[in-house]
Amino acid sequence: MKLRKVTVAVAAALVLSVTAAGCGSGGGGGGGATTGKKITVGIKFDQPGIGLKTPDGKYTGFDVDVATYVAGQLGHKPGDIVWKEAKSADRETLLQHGDVDFIAASYSITPTREQKVDFAGPYLLAHQDVLIRADDDTIKTPSDLNNKKLCSVTGSTSAQNVKTKIAPNAQLQEYGGYSECLTGLENKVIDALTTDDSILAGYAAQDQFKGKFKLGGFKLSNENYGIGVQKGSALKDQINTALQKMVADGSWDAYVKKNFGPANYHNEPAPQIGVIVS
């Protein structure tokens, strides 16, 4: 496992007397001059445990909790937040066009993306993994996926990564969405579902799936989730300060347990701001 430092003014961010840090309280509370002014935040709308818009119009998930906390430290109450869907293919465009103030949407920090936008964080280290049935004792190592029916969404790089690098004899099944894969897994039509472990844990933590699935714990890749901001934005340093406080006051641990705990998700410790695990 290799570490690289991203180009962020981490030390400066931690010693800056950011006004926003004094505006809010933990958990997204706000106060201060900017309270009442809207802030637009990009999240996923379709990832349970990460970012989900529920049928009654509410927003739930780890990224939602993190974003609410950060907005609070920037002086915005939860009611000030305008949530905007940030699909994977649209994230850089949303930031570049100024359609959102920041994005927290299972947004892995990569060199290619860093050419277009800036990242605060990382705030979560996830890994590509597989989800299998809770009573399945035949898949204990990544190589056990050979000759198994492996599912992911159409166009996903996760399944291809397993098939080309880890288990070339896996029988790849591509479905339109993760929910279809879960149904297939539950009905024993497929043997395993692969994507980021945080996303898998979020799905498995849903009430209808509790106790039915388990994570393989294989850590097939490192995914450093960051908060995306416009290139050159001063928000980066302010958000880094907020993330440090979130970890220090215990909110980060509480959000992990709340959103991923039911799936027995063995999360990595909170990552160090500005340090990318490759």
CA-wise closest residue to 126 among 105, 140, 154 = 105
pLDDT in tens, the chain (278 residues): 566 665 444 434 433 333 333 333 334 433 333 456 999 999 999 899 999 999 999 999 999 999 999 999 999 999 999 999 999 889 999 999 999 999 999 999 999 999 999 999 999 999 999 999 999 999 999 999 999 999 988 767 787 788 888 999 999 998 888 888 999 999 999 999 999 999 999 988 888 888 899 999 999 989 999 999 999 999 999 999 999 999 999 999 999 999 987 666 888 999 999 999 98
Reading phi first (left if > 0) and then psi (alpha if -120 to 50, else beta), residue 77 is in: beta
In terms of domains, do 49 and 170 share one? no
* Host domain of residue 156: 128-215
What is the crossing angle of helices 251-260 and 62-73, to 10°? 160
What CATH number does residue 8 fall under? Answer: 3.40.190.10
pTM of the model: 0.80
Residues 169 and 89 in one domain: no
For 102-124, b/e burial (b = at least 16 CB within 10 A) is bbbbbbbbeeebbeebbbbbbbb
Judgement on whether residues 13 and 117 belong to the same structural domain of the protein: yes
Question: Is residue 270 located within the same domain as residue 174?
Answer: no
Q: Does 116 lie in the same domain as 7?
A: yes
- Residues 15, 108, single domain; the answer is yes
